């Protein structure tokens, strides 16, 4: 059996294994809630993970609708960028999918041709991982700038309450439409 057929036939089981590995990176109680609650309004994190992993699997592994991959990748990375994950932990979901795909391929015993097909999929996953890391860095920069601007606003408000106009700092720099400051873009 060709690896593509195997991955298509076992899509649901592979996604379940991948999602379980992703959710195991969360505290036990949170992971249990993310798995159990299916309502997207009561459980936006669990819903986002389930939806984004399905889109990524279909786009990167199965090669269907690859145009949806960037949005799904951004969903997962943004979600993990605002949580207490290191950069490596935040993008580890890409490596976890590779692990699951290798396990499934080994279990099926596809032979050498299966490994060649799997290598092509893994190259796409490597590219996805690089994109995820770049996106994570941009998201963390945005989080930092939001926190920094909020701190500046609080200090300005405090100084204004003191009533000394000489103590009031200048307003924060204007942000660009993409969320990055002019200073951060080299402009």
pLDDT of 2-15, one tens digit each?
888 889 999 999 99
* Alpha-carbon separation of residue 3 from 17, 43, 46, 123 (angstroms): 17, 34, 29, 15
Return residue ranges of the chain for CATH 1.10.490.
Answer: 3-138
Q: Indicate the length of the chain as a whole number.
A: 187
Predicted pLDDT of residue 187: 41
**Residue 169 burial (C-beta neighbours within 10 Å; 0-12, 13-18, 19+):** exposed
Cβ atoms 78, 139 nearer than 8 A: yes
Q: Identify the residue whose tokens are 């408000």.
A: 157
Predicted pLDDT of residue 175: 56
* Residue 175, strand partner residues: 181
Identify which of 87, 147, 97, 159 has the alpha carbon closest to the alpha carbon of residue 126.
97
Instruction: Give the pLDDT band of residue 93 (cuts 50, 70, 90).
Output: very high
Residues 125-135 have a mean pLDDT of 95
If one compares 41 and 168, the residue with the highest pLDDT of the two is 41
Q: What is the mean pLDDT of the chain?
A: 85
CATH annotation of 3-138: 1.10.490
Q: List, for residues 10-63, the tens digit of each pLDDT value.
A: 999 999 999 999 999 998 988 888 888 777 888 899 999 999 999 999 999 888
- Range name among 95-104, 107-116, 166-175, 178-187 with the lowest pLDDT average: 178-187
SS3 call for 135? helix
Predicted pLDDT of residue 169: 58
* 64, pLDDT greater than 80: yes
Q: Identify the residue whose tokens are 């951060």.
A: 184
Identify which of 122, 128, 121 has the alpha carbon closest to the alpha carbon of residue 63.
121
Identify which of 95, 94, 129, 104 has the alpha carbon closest to the alpha carbon of residue 5.
104
Instruction: Give the pLDDT band of residue 183 (cuts 50, 70, 90).
Output: very low
Q: Identify the residue whose tokens are 């945005």.
A: 142
* 182, pLDDT greater than 60: no
Residue 5 and residue 14: Cα distance in Å, rounded?
Answer: 13
- Range name among 9-18, 48-57, 89-98, 163-172 with the lowest pLDDT average: 163-172
Residue 149 and residue 11: Cα distance in Å, rounded?
Answer: 44
If one compares 142 and 156, the residue with the highest pLDDT of the two is 142
Cβ atoms 138, 79 nearer than 8 A: no
């Amino acid at each position: 059996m060709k690896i593509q057929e195997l991955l298509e036939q076992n899509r649901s089981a592979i996604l379940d294994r991948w999602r379980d590995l992703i959710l195991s990176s969360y505290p036990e109680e949170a992971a249990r809630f993310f798995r159990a609650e299916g309502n997207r309004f009561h459980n936006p994190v669990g819903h986002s993970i389930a939806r984004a992993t399905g889109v990524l699997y279909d786009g990167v592994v199965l090669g269907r609708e690859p145009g949806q991959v960037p949005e799904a990748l951004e969903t997962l990375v943004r979600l993990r960028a605002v949580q207490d994950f290191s950069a490596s932990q935040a993008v580890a979901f890409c490596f976890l999918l590779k692990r699951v795909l290798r396990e499934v391929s080994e279990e099926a015993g596809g032979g050498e041709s299966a490994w060649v097909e799997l290598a092509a999929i893994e190259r796409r996953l490597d590219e996805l991982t690089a994109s995820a890391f770049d996106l994570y860095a941009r998201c963390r920069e945005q989080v930092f700038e939001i926190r920094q601007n909020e701190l500046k606003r609080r200090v300005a408000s405090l100084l204004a309450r003191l009533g000394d106009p000489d103590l009031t700092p200048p307003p924060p720099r204007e942000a660009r439409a993409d969320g990055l400051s002019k200073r951060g873009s080299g402009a």
